[in-house]
Amino acid sequence: MTVRTRFAPSPTGYLHVGGARTALFSWLHARKHGGKFILRIEDTDLERSTAESVNAILEGMTWLGLEYDEGPFYQTHRFDRYNEVIEQFLDTGKAYRCNCPKERLEKLREEQMAAKLKPRYDGHCRGRHIDPNEPHVIRFLNPQDGTVVFDDMVRGKVAFQNTELDDLIIRRTDGSPTYNLSVVVDDLDMEITHVIRGDDHLNNTPRQINILKALGKEPPRYGHVPMILGDDGARLSKRHGAVSVMQYRDEGFLPEALLNYLVRLGWSHGDQEIFSIDEMVELFDIENVNKAPSAFNTEKLLWLNQHYIKSDTPARVARLLSPHMGELGVDPAKWPPLEQVVAMQAERANSLLELARISAVFYQEEIEYNEDGAKKNLKAAATEPLTRVRDKLAALDDWSREPIHAIIHGVAEELGLKMGKVGMPLRFAITGGVASGDLDLTVYLTGKEPSLQRIDRAMGYIQQRATD
């Protein structure tokens, strides 16, 4: 039997990291076993489902590269099928109509809570005749005794007493089916073999198994993966720190970094930290996923992001970096080639945003001085070395790294100065800051004319300071 897994989000918001990890695990499980990964949109909640959310989820999946083999299927397109099952249940006495008013249900709940009981529907309408033309819901007749046991792929054996369960609503007053019914019918019709989902669904599983049994079908295998907590240990939710996967893209994260981070959250393979997609597919095993929830740690994500920024080809990083450069108001299509800048700067940035920030200086007409750095580096003592470097650079025909390197070192030697005394003022003059890559490379990439202009400006700054 071929493995078939699915990701079944409800379109009531964007795709966040928790959902993305569940989708990743499900996708990996299918890929590992040469199976199919199906995308299903659970939009039976007509009130809250939106097309924008569907698009946001699709966009997130695409960005992460979690391509699906079938779907997206929409539950709203399958109402006829759900109704068919509901009618079948009604005909065979496995479901019944209920018209209990909200007030009765609320009172019941309060009484049960007061008696320290678990709030459950009491089966008041079981066996009562209710006119199908009156407003009513349909409830599934849950078994009243026995135990539902299943072997969860991550939790192991889990058991629930049927006495803990109640007769859940499977069709609303407005005629729409509810989640627990539609999910069972869909997983059945779509021949899902492995249901991998968040553990907030663990409590729903026995209900779904009971519905499946009423249908005379065998349940699939279940794997309930724990929730992801925020940096502060509280549950990650849309209201609390759960950011959209797309926000990570906007903040300069590489999809492979997020994927690598997510796969290591709750799962591991010995001491290995870095996993290519192929390695994940090969090594991932849902049975090795931890049972305990884990906290999202942005610091580690940043570390992985830096790893991928510096190990991916400069060409690819440059392509992803380009839009971020544009947002900073510079044109990366101009000199120097962005690829070369990336090759030099990659190890200094843990996000594309940071990379853009430290690289913009190569494309700016007018650079900004870091004040402390200016005080420290543009002093009278820097005039002589700067002048000499400037003149030699101006006379340089072959604008390339080696001669630039020779000039800087030559000046230090001539003046009997340590490299720092020449290098730091020059670095500051060229970049306006105290941090940059190799000095000769930095000068080279800045270009001849811009370099000369920047040195002139620095010397002007020194003079200005002397007269103040």
Partner RNA sequence: GUCCCGUUCAUCUAGAGGCCUAGGAUAUCGCCCUUUCACGGCGAGUACAGGGGUUCGACUCCCCUACGGGACGCCA
Asked if residue 313 lies in contact with residue 410, where contact means CB atoms within 8 angstroms, the answer is no
Q: Which CB atom, from 26 or from 178, has the smaller least distance to RNA?
A: 178
Count Cβ neighbours within 10 Å for each residue of 60-88 and write b for 16 or more, e otherwise: bbebbebebeebbbebeebeeebbebbee
According to the binding rule CB under 7 A, does residue 117 interact with RNA? yes
**Interface positions, 83-112, toward RNA (CB under 7 A):** 102, 105, 109
Cα separation, 440 vs 438, whole angstroms:
6
| The two structure tokens encoding residue 327 | 């947002």
Which one, of 44, 25, 49, 21, lies nearest residue 184 by Cα? 44
According to the binding rule CB under 7 A, does residue 149 interact with RNA? no
Q: Which stretch binds RNA (CB under 7 A): 86-94, 268-276, 378-386, 391-399?
A: 268-276
| The two structure tokens encoding residue 273 | 């930290």
Partners of residue 104 on adjacent β-strands: none
Q: Which CB atom, from 334 or from 376, has the smaller least distance to RNA?
A: 376
Q: Which CB atom, from 239 or from 468, has the smaller least distance to RNA?
A: 239
Q: Which CB atom, from 113 or from 315, has the smaller least distance to RNA?
A: 113
Among 234, 315, 394, 406, binds RNA (CB under 7 A): 234
Q: Which CB atom, from 95 or from 137, has the smaller least distance to RNA?
A: 137
Residues forming the active site: 238
Asked if residue 8 lies in contact with residue 40, where contact means CB atoms within 8 angstroms, the answer is yes
Q: Where are the alpha helices (DSSP H) in 118-238?
A: 179-189, 205-214
Taking residues 332 to 351 in sequence order and writing x for each that binds RNA by CB under 7 A, - otherwise, the string is ---------------xx---
**Interface positions, 284-323, toward RNA (CB under 7 A):** 288, 290-295, 297, 299-300, 302-303, 306, 310
Centroid of chain to Cα 26: 15
Count of residues that interact with RNA, criterion CB under 7 A: 87
Cα separation, 29 vs 465, whole angstroms:
66
According to the binding rule CB under 7 A, does residue 415 interact with RNA? no
According to the binding rule CB under 7 A, does residue 414 interact with RNA? no
| The two structure tokens encoding residue 271 | 């001491």
Which one, of 82, 88, 10, 17, lies nearest residue 47 by Cα? 10
Shortest spacing between CB 266 and RNA, in angstroms: 3
**Interface positions, 33-52, toward RNA (CB under 7 A):** 42, 44-45, 47-48
Shortest spacing between CB 160 and RNA, in angstroms: 6
